[in-house]
């Protein structure tokens, strides 16, 4: 079985190209923070190359940008090639079957710009007061 599920942030804007047969392919890298801290107490990140084909790739190029949080489901693929000096190089990448856009879109944004919803609590509840500032409700006033 070959299946990978990742959540991370894009390290740069996605790049869209087409094959000679006209198929769209989008490439980007996501930084995925490791689960545990290292000996110095820091949580390191892995930088994983993602390949997305056809319409999903076109959507990634349109709606994702550097810093966007994305969830990726796909398979790990390893390939090799000979570089210009004739040395065999190996590349490991994730070929995505699904990409979920996890950054919240700003309410007045018509483009593809996204923000981190964790750092913008007012956006999560429709621009109203942050949840911590809401007044408590007396249970006796509830209809159930």
Tell me the domain boundaries of the chain: 4-36+43-102
pLDDT tens profile 98-125 = 999 998 765 545 554 444 444 444 444 4
The predicted structure's pLDDT at residue 116: 47
**Res. 18 pLDDT band, cuts 50 70 90:** very high
The predicted structure's pLDDT at residue 129: 52
pLDDT tens profile 37-71 = 888 999 999 999 999 999 999 999 999 999 999 99
Look at the alpha carbons of 71, 12, 26, 3 in this order and tell me if their dihedral is positive or negative.
negative
The predicted structure's pLDDT at residue 101: 94
The predicted structure's pLDDT at residue 113: 46
Nearest one of 70, 89, 72 to 80, comparing CA atoms: 89
The predicted structure's pLDDT at residue 11: 96
Residue 96 has pLDDT above 80, yes or no: yes
| Rounded Cα distance, 27 and 91, in Å | 14
Residues in the chain: 144
The predicted structure's pLDDT at residue 48: 97
The predicted structure's pLDDT at residue 111: 52
CATH number of 4-36+43-102: 2.40.50.140
Residues of the chain by 3-state class (helix, strand, coil), percent to 5: 15, 45, 40
């Amino acid at each position: 079985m070959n299946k990978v599920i990742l959540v991370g942030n894009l390290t740069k804007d996605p790049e869209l190209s087409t094959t000679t047969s006209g198929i769209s392919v989008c490439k980007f890298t996501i930084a995925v923070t490791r689960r545990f801290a290292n000996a110095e107490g820091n949580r390191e990140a892995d930088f994983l190359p993602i390949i997305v084909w056809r319409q999903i790739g076109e959507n990634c190029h349109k709606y994702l940008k550097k810093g966007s949080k994305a969830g990726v489901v796909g398979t790990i693929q390893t390939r090799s090639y000979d570089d210009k000096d004739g040395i065999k190089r190996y590349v490991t990448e994730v070929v995505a079957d699904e990409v979920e856009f996890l950054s919240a879109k700003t309410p007045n944004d018509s483009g593809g710009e996204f923000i981190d919803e964790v750092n913008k609590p007012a956006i999560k509840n429709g621009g109203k007061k942050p949840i911590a500032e809401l007044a408590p409700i007396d249970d006796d006033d509830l209809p159930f």
